[in-house]
Amino acid sequence: MIALLQAWYPWLKAAHLIFVIFWMAGLFMFPRFLVYHQEAAPGSPEEAKWIEREDKLRRIILAPSMVIVWVLGLLLASTIGAWTMGWFHAKLALVILLSGYHGWMLGYARRLAKGERKLSGKALRIANEVPGIAVAIIVVLVIVKPF
């Protein structure tokens, strides 16, 4: 199995990167959608549109991309024996945190749809920075492999 994965390694890596880009695009967009949703009047047609947009982004981009990123990432890690590499452990921890952030956003969107507005627009705007910071660190870990 490993020999087959090694033969396909460049293709797996390319596909992984493509789906990381899709997932990150969704993670950059979703918090912004939440800001606009939260600023819409409760029960308004505008709010209904944001709920629909959030659902489509989740179903079409976020969920499939995250699953594919995880599957391909684990295959790539197994192919190169990354389980013993320090940089990989740090990257894996950040990807786990991003996955948790992804879940938190989906949960907040569900609460918003029910009319619960617990965070300020400013807090959501700050939360919007999380994926950018995480992906910058992940890129450095993968390219530079500092440890």
Contact assessment for residue 60 and residue 30, using Cβ atoms and an 8 Å cutoff: no
Q: What is the pLDDT of residue 87?
A: 97
Cite the annotated binding site by residue number: 16, 91
Q: What is the pLDDT of residue 100?
A: 98
Alpha carbons 75 and 55: distance in angstroms, whole number: 29
pLDDT in tens, 101-141: 999 999 999 999 999 999 998 999 999 999 999 999 999 99
Using pLDDT thresholds of 50, 70 and 90, give the confidence band for residue 1. Answer: confident
Q: What is the pLDDT of residue 4?
A: 87
Domain boundaries, the chain: 2-144
Query: Comparing 14 with 4, which gets the higher pLDDT?
Result: 14
Q: What is the pLDDT of residue 5?
A: 84
Q: What is the pLDDT of residue 3?
A: 86
Say what percent of the chain tops pLDDT 90: 95
Cite the annotated binding site for heme by residue number: 16, 91
pLDDT in tens, 73-104: 999 999 999 999 999 999 999 999 999 999 99
pTM of the model: 0.92
Q: What is the pLDDT of residue 56?
A: 98
Neighbours of 64 (CB within 10 A): 15
